[in-house]
Structure 1
Amino acid sequence: MLPSSFLLRFHQLRPSLIKALDTAPPKKASDRLHPCLTLAHTSYTASLLNKLLFRFIMSSTSSSRFDLGDHVQDQDLSEEYLTSSSRDYSAGSSPLTTPALSDNEFDFDVPSEDALLEQSSTTQAPADGSEKYIMVIGGLGYIGSHTTLELLREGHNVIVVDNLSNSYKTVLKNVKMLAAHHCKVNNVSMPRLRFFRIDYRSKAMHVLLERYSKLVMTVDATSGKQVVSYQSQIAGVIHFAAYKSVVESIQQPLRYYRNNVCGLVNLLQELERFNIRNFIFSSSATVYGSKANAGLPLKEEDLVHHQVKTQNEAGETTIVEPTIEGLSCPYARTKFFGEAILADVAEADPDWRIVALRYFNPVGCDPSGVLGESPRGEPTNLFPVLTQVLKGDRPELSVFGSDWPTRDGTAIRDFIHVLDVARGHIAALNWNSKKGNGFSTFNLGSGTGTTVLEAVRSLEQAAGREIPLALVDRRPGDVGSCVASTDRATKELGWTTRESITKCAADLWNYVSKVALRS
């Protein structure tokens, strides 16, 4: 069996070997290195070193802790990663131009395996390898960008992964600007902000995760033997990169299952390889299905994935069994499946710390008016559509259903300010670092139901203008009422909402008047 010490030492010396082989004449290299390594004195130095190590390991050890066979074969790089090392937007730097995506969902300039391995092997992790980061996947989207901003404001170093399929490169610049302003006002150092334009489902994710990891010698708790395993600078991952349109999911279910479910499974496998087991999942209130129509605040125990015991205020214990009722669309099912997968993973491996945050209806934007919700495609959520009406891009707002059993006939939703949602993620990260391991769910909502017409009136008041409406039939996949119980989040996370629907409307109008009307 190949000694673990050799594997660790090989990994540590690999950059020096590459440098020596690339700079010394072949005949001299053979004097200093093992003859088999002289083969590496080509343009494929790093590739051959990786393959050499791969052959050693595959022939000498069966340790699953160090399965570099898969690692070598799975590497891939995006165009963004190839044309630049990590994009560091810490204080004093500025964003670089990012080429626009084509209509193709995967716009990657994929190199050959040899060129790829040469690139990835000679690129080292930044700084001294001791800095910790939070990785935000989908970090330039609506909720992702606000969460990235809040993380920076709280002093976290952040790695943003986004393929810009539903976001824009200018968002990164705006996040950096707002974070830098916050740090200047509060006289604190600007955390590191790094951006990688890759699709989280691509093989480039492996290269990125490897870049922020190192091999260390540890003792296996079960066998007591020394093993080599990865230690990552990534302290936690927040996953936003899911498709989210109810209507589109009905029209294109396979696209949703491929990204939201299959992509999640692949991501978890990669994180597990690098011993990254602190995970925050972007879930949805749609997982409650038809239970929402009961008209009662939805509790986390209304949907569980394994049998749990709950206790009421009187101290009475109730056993709750896993159930599923009336999921109304493929999007809701992808979120349900995602939660179920995560619950099973945490059940099988107690080292995982996983939180699923069930969003209700995030609206509003940062009070600066610089960040907002501006999807690339056709918006389907209420407030982005209202934005288009205010800009004159739509003649009117279609209100889906005026015959729901509510106070004005329109559907009731639990609108929550997007900054409250962002703060909920930070609360979940903090809670994850303190609590025991396992899988947990929390509602992120205001706990207050607002009808669609009431939400429209609040925006009319903020804008000082009337919004034209059209009452139309109900939309497939919708429910009449969906309101959160936030007791668990308040008690366990110490999190509560700060902003009202009025503040949401005011911040949205500020964004529209400052940014959107000029576009």
Structure 2
Amino acid sequence: MSKKCVFVTGGAGYIGSHCCVELLQADYDVVAIDNFANSRHTGAGEAPALKRVEEITSKKLTFYQCDLLDAEKVNAIFDKHQIDYVIHFAAIKAVGESMQFPLLYYKNNVIGTINLVEAMKAHNVYHMVFSSSCCVYGDPEHLPITEDHPTGNVTNVYGRTKYLIEEMLKDLTHAEPKWNIISLRYFNPVGAHPSGRIGEDPTKNFTNLMPYIAQVALGNKPHINVFGGDYNTPDGTGVRDYIHIMDLASGHVAALNKLSQEHFRYKTYNLGTGEGVSVKQLAAMFERVTGRPVPCLVQPRRLGDIVSMFANASRARQELGWTAQRSLEDMCRDMWRWQTMNPRGYQDDCDAGAAATTGQAALAKAAAVTNGVANGVSNGVSGH
């Protein structure tokens, strides 16, 4: 039986690259695209993270530099491959930035998804796993949050794009019964692959807590800013559900298995541990694992921040056969291994790739000059 092929958007990103490891190890063929909005690349348009994915798995994948806003190129890639499933990660995702540039976020995230879905339909591909977010729940009415919790009262533009896409996909599956779509609502992915070869390498200012904590532990930042120390939580700081990136990645393979077994049109699943961890608790665990100080400076509350949020992931356990396996200690240890092995993230790979590209260009230029001299022409001037 031939392998099933998965088309992965945003494949070079933090979550996408770790998911590609799980997909390859589960014996899927992988075709990945990325426009490098959130990920590093070499001058030759290669993705260092995905090169390392191939090293980890000893398997090859197919990669294209492509933006979902380029509908023509997306369709051309679908023309080249027999796609069975799509996992859709591609999105710009900085909450603060989304409030400053709302049109950019709606255009990239929503229109990009429309282009993708239209390409899927044109090529008779109707199975999708959508990368959604717990922020579709807004400020939670009850904890832990189940999938039946009301959605839509979202506090930021990024979250509203995820909510809007969920509603769009739901409408699509109601109108056209062929579709079979799972939306995975992530809580807070952290950590790295245990090899230390791939991990989170933010291309913008540190908007996620764990990379910032790691920078403080390395001595590159003086302290972490804790926004709000007087919330109604055990230590006054905000509480979140942190999930190891490899557990999150395995959830996507479980979702693909579900899509292959059952046709339900549209379904949502929370992916989280079900345990709330405060900012100070996370910093203290990082200190314990690394032996490095992580000072916390309490700042005033930020407008729009949610006090506490953690998942009820029992639906995923019962229906997908999936549970988070790794502990908070594992998350911190794996993040620290990645950070200490790769203090500049993938930048060294990018620099080496750029140097190689420059070297190849120089060799090509030299060869062209040499060939020109051999043919009696040098720099466009006749040798006669």
TM range (shorter): 0.7 to 0.9
CA drift of 1:375 comes to 1.7
Residue matched to 1:205: 74
Quick check: 1:362 aligned with 2:189? yes
Rounded to whole Å, the distance in 1 between the matches of 2:329 and 2:219 is: 22
> What are the equivalent positions in structure 2 for 1:400-479 lying under 5 Å apart?
400-479=227-306
Rounded to whole Å, the distance in 1 between the matches of 2:262 and 2:288 is: 43
In structure 2, what residue type is equivalent to 1:173? Answer: K
Identity %: 42
Residue matched to 2:208: 381
Quick check: 1:271 aligned with 2:117? no
Residue matched to 2:54: 176
> What are the equivalent positions in structure 2 for 1:294-305 lying under 5 Å apart?
294=142, 296-303=143-150
Select the residue among 198, 202, 206 that pairs with 1:371: 198
Rounded to whole Å, the distance in 2 between the matches of 1:165 and 1:289 is: 26
Q: Deviations over 1:219-267 (max 9, x none)?
A: xxxxxxxxxxxxxx11100011111111111111111111111211121
Question: Are 1:351 and 1:437, in contact at CA under 8 Å, matched by a contact in 2?
Answer: no
What secondary structure does 1:398 align onto?
strand
> What are the equivalent positions in structure 2 for 1:105-184 lying under 5 Å apart?
132-168=4-40, 169-180=47-58
What secondary structure does 1:443 align onto?
strand
Rounded to whole Å, the distance in 2 between the matches of 1:465 and 1:173 is: 31
Rounded to whole Å, the distance in 2 between the matches of 1:397 and 1:494 is: 37
CA drift of 1:165 comes to 2.2
* Structure 2 gaps, min length 5: 41-46, 349-384
CA drift of 1:476 comes to 3.2
What secondary structure does 2:200 align onto?
coil
What secondary structure does 1:465 align onto?
coil
CA drift of 1:285 comes to 0.4
CA drift of 1:290 comes to 1.6
What secondary structure does 1:290 align onto?
coil
CA drift of 1:391 comes to 3.1
Moved over 4 A (4+): none
Question: Are 1:346 and 1:353, in contact at CA under 8 Å, matched by a contact in 2?
Answer: yes
Quick check: 1:351 aligned with 2:178? yes
In structure 2, what residue type is equivalent to 1:280? Answer: V
**Structure 1 pair 432–371 and aligned structure 2 pair: CA distance change class (3 A):** same
Question: Are 1:458 and 1:502, in contact at CA under 8 Å, matched by a contact in 2?
Answer: yes
What secondary structure does 2:258 align onto?
helix
* Structure 1 gaps, min length 5: 1-129, 181-189, 213-232, 304-322
Residue matched to 2:169: 342
In structure 2, what residue type is equivalent to 1:488? Answer: R
Rounded to whole Å, the distance in 1 between the matches of 2:155 and 2:37 is: 26
In structure 2, what residue type is equivalent to 1:437? Answer: F
CA drift of 1:517 comes to 6.3
Greater RCO, 1 or 2 (C-alpha within 8 Å, sep 6+): 2
Question: Are 1:353 and 1:432, in contact at CA under 8 Å, matched by a contact in 2?
Answer: yes
Q: Deviations over 1:9-63 (max 9, x none)?
A: xxxxxxxxxxxxxxxxxxxxxxxxxxxxxxxxxxxxxxxxxxxxxxxxxxxxxxx
In structure 2, what residue type is equivalent to 1:458? Answer: M
- Cα RMSD after superposing both structures: 1.4
Question: Are 1:247 and 1:476, in contact at CA under 8 Å, matched by a contact in 2?
Answer: no
Quick check: 1:247 aligned with 2:96? yes
Select the residue among 294, 310, 316 that pairs with 1:483: 310
Quick check: 1:285 aligned with 2:285? no
What secondary structure does 2:337 align onto?
helix
Rounded to whole Å, the distance in 1 between the matches of 2:91 and 2:344 is: 28
Quick check: 1:333 aligned with 2:160? yes
CA drift of 1:475 comes to 2.4
Quick check: 1:193 aligned with 2:193? no
CA drift of 1:394 comes to 2.1
Question: Are 2:191 and 2:331, in contact at CA under 8 Å, matched by a contact in 1?
Answer: yes
TM-score (norm: length of structure 1): 0.63
In structure 2, what residue type is equivalent to 1:374? Answer: D
What secondary structure does 1:376 align onto?
coil
Residue matched to 1:22: none
Rounded to whole Å, the distance in 1 between the matches of 2:104 and 2:313 is: 32
